[in-house]
Amino acid sequence: MARRAALEISPGMVVNLGIGIPSLVPNFLPPDMHVMFHAENGITGMGATPHAGEEDEALCNAGGFPVTVVPGASYCDSATAFGMIRRGRVDLSILGSLQVSGKGDLANWIIPGKKVPGMGGAMELASKAKKLIVLMSHTDKAGNPKIVDECTLPLTSGRCVDLVITDLAVFKVSNQKLILIEHRNTSSVEEVAAKTGCTFEVQDNVKKVAY
Amino acid sequence: MARRAALEISPGMVVNLGIGIPSLVPNFLPPDMHVMFHAENGITGMGATPHAGEEDEALCNAGGFPVTVVPGASYCDSATAFGMIRRGRVDLSILGSLQVSGKGDLANWIIPGKKVPGMGGAMELASKAKKLIVLMSHTDKAGNPKIVDECTLPLTSGRCVDLVITDLAVFKVSNQKLILIEHRNTSSVEEVAAKTGCTFEVQDNVKKVAY
Amino acid sequence: MGKLANSFHKIAALNQAMEYFQDGMTIMFGGFGGVGSPPALIGAILEKDLKELTLIGNDTGFPEIGIGKIVSRGMARKVIVSHIGSNPVAGKLMNEGLLEVEFSPQGTLAERIRAGGMGIGAILVDIGLDNEMVIQGKQQFILNGRDYLVEPALTAEVSIVYARKADPYGNLIYDKSARNTNPLVAMAGNYTIAEVEEIVPLGALNPEEIVTPGVFVDMVIPTCGVNWKWAWE
Amino acid sequence: MGKLANSFHKIAALNQAMEYFQDGMTIMFGGFGGVGSPPALIGAILEKDLKELTLIGNDTGFPEIGIGKIVSRGMARKVIVSHIGSNPVAGKLMNEGLLEVEFSPQGTLAERIRAGGMGIGAILVDIGLDNEMVIQGKQQFILNGRDYLVEPALTAEVSIVYARKADPYGNLIYDKSARNTNPLVAMAGNYTIAEVEEIVPLGALNPEEIVTPGVFVDMVIPTCGVNWKWAWE
């Protein structure tokens, strides 16, 4: 999934990555691509994870884990870091999610009665990044679809998802319509349909891909 | 007047000076007094005027004239410079004025129909500096009082003046009442009253001073 | 003290700083996931065993990292934060009704703190308008036909921040991403205490590189260094 | 170009910058009394003889200094500034009805520009509530029993700023008090052009000292240096 998401990144972009699988995306980028990775705590230009023993406790990403910086990086306060997001200067945000609706609604911040961790910076990223990609497993641990007609979990932000990448398929959301554009070569449109909680269009030249 | 105003400055203060006579106040301070002079364009810690030929076009006060900085000085953007004012971190503002009312109203920004230069930073300074001192001539060029019952010119800010220092006298404003606390030894309470456009109390131990 | 003359009377010891803390007060803290939070001040607050605090900052850290140590011991009555996800003890206290949590979207929270520091009453943002938890208790305002939330400024009786260097005027510079919310929190305190790794003489900091002007800082104390183990260690 | 490889395609020449300017547009400019305003960009706008501009910035400079050169030649239909006191030609044009002037208190104006840059809709301030000219056309809002003015954010189609150094990503540092409004204006432009004294290789600027992250900067052009005589000269 991270490999597939990396294909959406172009040179010069400012990219914010959520915790978990999204944080693996840089591993699949060519070197010298001149992409600036942005962190909510105030880093523009994050680089690779430092080698063990070379961590700097004062240089961590928004998840609190050690990072490095690339040439051209800068530090700012958190207000400015979010100003970049709200002003539309972050080109791409790649987040995990609990549910996504066929209209592009995102629900990734609480499970009522179970887990109420707070929204962190997800609302700003979801509603203000120029493009929002969701990376998530196609179904939950119990096998229930995570792509649904209407989110049953509280929304982080409505009508904000542009692309959904799962372990089975890739959908784009266009004018609040879900369109299957790729599926795994080990799967089929029928399997994807069976494991998806809402209807979707199938693009004419839907691709079978290995990733 | 500038010499008298300098007496109001204590060590450690953050002080903003308006253009004109107020800008002369630092000349009457003892050295090493550890006062930080603040400028709206983003300087904290302005020092003396540079010697001719040593001016730096990138180091000017809010009036656009070359300055120097003292050890401990810093630069910030104008928004932060005004944040210091609005947050009440500027201890003292010394401004010139066109009129002051006996209640402490300040009118120093426009003469309707004649001069409408804009308020610049005067409104923030007048209403938010912890203490506001006005330095001005006691009367205008035509001999009319500049301290009046009600300002006839549009207000910059109401009920904001704490101390008025003129070429004749010093008044404090306390609970919207004007109180004469000093006058020049070459003048008298009667002369001050004759040249003032409103009534005022005379402090018991009113001082005669030479300045 | 030679060059380090305490000419602005801002350099002090930890015990002097502690005179500013009391039960029931509002404290704002710098830091992001514990990174950039002041360890000595947090340790001293723990030791003083304060009660009924209101804490304002990015998050509740981890149970034994940063402000989390205070929250985990039940010393806070209320927190205003963007998340408590990394501190399960905070979640437990919340669910038991022992801790009131006001969630604010992270960027909104940062701006509310800055607004407090800048003497601004509130900001209008369009973040979270479709979210019940965010709009709860907030007023809305229509400007040029668009809906906004009125997000009130935040200030605190005391702000505590962590910085790399200070001079005797309290000018501060930070260390990489440990800067995070510290410059904002430093401005928002009615009284601001900076815990710093190094105190340098007046004039030793380049005026261009100073991030927090000393105008906003009332007291500077030396740090003992970070005394907790990071999650990644 | 060796180390100065234009890897983000932001370094350009003045004539390329001029493609972004046209009649009737809104331009925001950095500078304070002309100090810190970009001379080459102002010169090129003059040469292009643009009409009906709306200009937003701290002040209208002096008649032959900074943005004043553009205002004095009648190229602006409207200015949003805190004062025109140092530019009598602006005052004359205003009195003749040839120039619309929206006055904003200086600190409010700076925050409105910053709010634009930060994607905030407006700020609530209590400055100028008793002043007819300030409250004119503004909405008011009562928060916690206190009156505030709703001061809308300002943005511009193009922002022009002046900086001491840039790297190929457009990271900027400024020169002393020539910083003034530039970092705010740099963030508020839909397209931001920085005129700089020196372009240094990527990595040559210390990440700690960068004032404006290149994220906000779309184009970097080299300056010809200040080409006007200062009032104090």
- pLDDT (tens digit per residue) in A81-113: 999 999 999 999 999 999 999 999 999 988 888
**Does the pLDDT of residue C138 top 80, yes or no?**
yes
DSSP labels, chain B: -HHHHHTT--TT-EEEE-SSGGGGGGGGSPTT---EEEETTTEEEE-PPPPTT---TT-B-TTS-B--EEEEEEE--HHHHHHHHHTT---EEEE--SEEETT--EE-S-BTTTB----TTHHHHHHHSSEEEEE--SB-TTS-BSEESS-SSPPSBSS---EEE-SSEEEEEETTEEEEEEEETTS-HHHHHHT-BS--EEEEEEEEE--
The total of other beta-carbon atoms located within 10 Å of residue D152's CB is 18
d(CA B41, CA C74): 45
Phi, psi of B202 (to 5 degrees): -115, 125
**Does the pLDDT of residue B41 top 70, yes or no?**
yes
Structure tokens at B5: 């105003």
Give yes or no: A40 in active site: yes
**Which of D7, D118, D213 has its CB closest to that of A74?**
D213
pLDDT tens digits in sequence order for chain D, 233 residues long? 444 789 999 999 999 999 999 999 999 999 999 999 999 999 999 999 999 999 999 999 999 999 999 999 999 999 999 999 999 999 999 999 999 999 999 999 999 999 999 999 999 999 999 888 899 999 999 999 999 999 999 999 999 999 999 999 999 999 999 999 999 999 999 999 999 999 999 999 999 999 999 999 999 999 998 889 998 88
What are the distances in angstroms from CA C215 to CA B22, B42, C24, C121, C200?
21, 12, 27, 20, 17
Asked which of A107-121, B66-80, D92-106 is least confident by mean pLDDT, the reply is A107-121
What pLDDT score does A47 carry? 93
Phi, psi of A82 (to 5 degrees): -80, -25
Asked if the C-beta of A13 comes within 8 angstroms of chain C's C-beta atoms, the answer is no
Asked if the C-beta of C127 comes within 8 angstroms of chain A's C-beta atoms, the answer is yes
Query: What's the gap between Cα C182 and its chain centre?
Result: 6
Assess contact for B187 and B136: CB atoms under 8 A. no
- Residue C217's pLDDT band, with cuts at 50, 70 and 90, is very high
Structure tokens at B118: 């804009």
| Domain count across chain B | 1
Closest CA to B134 of B166, B111, B175: B166
Measured in angstroms, the CA of C24 and the nearest CA of chain D are apart by 21
Closest CA to C30 of C62, C47, C55, C53: C55
d(CA C83, CA C106): 8
d(CA B25, CA B13): 14
Query: Which one of A40, A54, A55, A191 is the catalytic residue?
Result: A40
What pLDDT score does B116 carry? 84
Closest CA to B130 of B161, B173, B151: B161
Question: Does B89 sit within 8 Å of C215, measured CB to CB?
Answer: yes
Of A24 and D194, the one with more pLDDT: D194
The helix/strand count (H/E) of chain A reads as 4, 13
pLDDT in tens, A187-209: 999 999 999 999 999 999 999 99
pLDDT in tens, B139-198: 999 999 999 999 999 999 999 999 999 999 999 999 999 999 999 999 999 999 999 999
What pLDDT score does C206 carry? 98
Question: Does D183 sit within 8 Å of B116, measured CB to CB?
Answer: no
Interface list for D 130-159 with B (CB within 8 A): 130-134
Measured in angstroms, the CA of D91 and the nearest CA of chain A are apart by 34
Asked if the C-beta of A145 comes within 8 angstroms of chain C's C-beta atoms, the answer is no
Question: Does C232 sit within 8 Å of A64, measured CB to CB?
Answer: yes
Question: Does A86 sit within 8 Å of C110, measured CB to CB?
Answer: no
Task: Report the DSSP beta bridge partners of residue C28.
Answer: C56, C159
Assess contact for A159 and A50: CB atoms under 8 A. no
**Does the pLDDT of residue A29 top 60, yes or no?**
yes
Collapsing DSSP to helix, strand or coil, D191 comes out as strand
Phi, psi of B165 (to 5 degrees): -115, 120
What pLDDT score does D95 carry? 94
What pLDDT score does C136 carry? 92
Which residue on chain D is closest to B153 by alpha carbon? D131
The total of other beta-carbon atoms located within 10 Å of residue A90's CB is 25
Query: What's the gap between Cα D140 and its chain centre?
Result: 27
Of D88 and A20, the one with more pLDDT: D88
Collapsing DSSP to helix, strand or coil, A92 comes out as strand
Torsion angle of C-alpha atoms B129, B43, D169, D217, degrees rounded to 10? 50
Structure tokens at B138: 């006691």
Measured in angstroms, the CA of C79 and the nearest CA of chain A are apart by 12
Mutate to test the interface with A, among D7, D185, D199, D215 (most CBs of A within 10 A): D215
Check residue A6 and report its DSSP letter: H
Closest CA to C37 of C193, C168, C169, C153: C193
Residues of C in contact with D152 (CB under 8 A): 143-144
Asked if B touches A (at least 3 Cβ pairs < 8 angstroms), the answer reads no
Q: What CATH number is associated with residue B14?
A: 3.40.1080.10
**Which of C115, C119, C143 has its CB closest to that of D121?**
C143
Question: Does A127 sit within 8 Å of C91, measured CB to CB?
Answer: no
Residues of C in contact with B36 (CB under 8 A): 169, 214-215
Assess contact for D224 and D163: CB atoms under 8 A. no
Closest CA to A122 of A95, A89, A100: A95
What are the distances in angstroms from CA B164 to CA B6, B119, D112?
13, 20, 33
Question: Does A71 sit within 8 Å of D202, measured CB to CB?
Answer: yes
Measured in angstroms, the CA of A143 and the nearest CA of chain C are apart by 25
Phi, psi of C204 (to 5 degrees): -80, -20
**Which of B56, B67, B119 has its CB closest to that of D82?**
B119
SS (H, E, C) chain C: CHHHCCCCCCECCHHHHHCCCCCCCEEEECCECCECCCHHHHHHHHHHCCCCEEEECCECCECCECCHHHHHCCCEEEEEECECCCCHHHHHHHHCCCCEEEECCHHHHHHHHHHHHCCCCEEEECCCCCCHHHHCCCCEEEECCEEEEEEECCCEEEEEEEEEEECCCCCEECCHHHCCCHHHHHHHEEEEEEEEEEECCCCCCCCCCCCECHHHCCEEEECCCCCCCCCCC
- What is the pTM (predicted TM-score) of this model? 0.97
The total of other beta-carbon atoms located within 10 Å of residue C230's CB is 17
What pLDDT score does D42 carry? 98
The label of the residue with tokens 């939950």 reads A140
Asked if the C-beta of B194 comes within 8 angstroms of chain D's C-beta atoms, the answer is no
Query: What's the gap between Cα C61 and its chain centre?
Result: 12
User: C14-122+152-222: what CATH class?
Assistant: alpha beta
pLDDT in tens, D10-29: 999 999 999 999 999 999 99
- What angle is formed at CA D73 by the lines to CA D68 and CA D74, rounded to 5 degrees? 100
Assess contact for D41 and D12: CB atoms under 8 A. no
Question: Does A44 sit within 8 Å of D215, measured CB to CB?
Answer: yes
Domain that holds residue B139: 2-209
Collapsing DSSP to helix, strand or coil, D95 comes out as helix
Measured in angstroms, the CA of C147 and the nearest CA of chain B are apart by 26
Residue A33 CB burial class (10 angstroms; 0-12, 13-18, ≥19) = middle
Collapsing DSSP to helix, strand or coil, D30 comes out as coil
The label of the residue with tokens 């001491």 reads D164
Asked if the C-beta of D207 comes within 8 angstroms of chain A's C-beta atoms, the answer is yes
Residues of D in contact with A12 (CB under 8 A): 8-9
Domain boundaries, chain C: 14-122+152-222
Question: Does D209 sit within 8 Å of C208, measured CB to CB?
Answer: yes
Mutate to test the interface with D, among A38, A74, A76 (most CBs of D within 10 A): A74
d(CA A52, CA A138): 33
Question: Does D141 sit within 8 Å of C120, measured CB to CB?
Answer: no
Question: Does D209 sit within 8 Å of C209, measured CB to CB?
Answer: yes
d(CA D174, CA D185): 13
Structure tokens at B57: 């076009």
Asked if C touches A (at least 3 Cβ pairs < 8 angstroms), the answer reads yes
What pLDDT score does B113 carry? 80
What pLDDT score does D1 carry? 43
Which of the other chains make 3 or more beta carbon contacts under 8 angstroms with chain B?
Answer: C, D
What pLDDT score does C1 carry? 43
- The ipTM, to two decimals, is 0.97
Assess contact for A36 and D169: CB atoms under 8 A. yes
What pLDDT score does A152 carry? 95
**Does the pLDDT of residue C3 top 70, yes or no?**
no
Measured in angstroms, the CA of A188 and the nearest CA of chain C are apart by 36
Assess contact for C108 and C135: CB atoms under 8 A. no
What are the distances in angstroms from CA A168 to CA A76, A209, D51?
39, 10, 57
Measured in angstroms, the CA of C169 and the nearest CA of chain B are apart by 6
d(CA A88, CA A130): 6
Asked if the C-beta of B146 comes within 8 angstroms of chain C's C-beta atoms, the answer is no
Structure tokens at A97: 């999610």
Which of the other chains make 3 or more beta carbon contacts under 8 angstroms with chain A?
Answer: C, D
**Which of A72, A79, A86 has its CB closest to that of D171?**
A72
The total of other beta-carbon atoms located within 10 Å of residue A177's CB is 14
**Which of C150, C173, C207 has its CB closest to that of D143?**
C150
Question: Does C144 sit within 8 Å of D143, measured CB to CB?
Answer: no
Residues of A in contact with C35 (CB under 8 A): 41, 57-58, 60, 64
Q: What is the CA radius of gyration of chain B?
A: 17
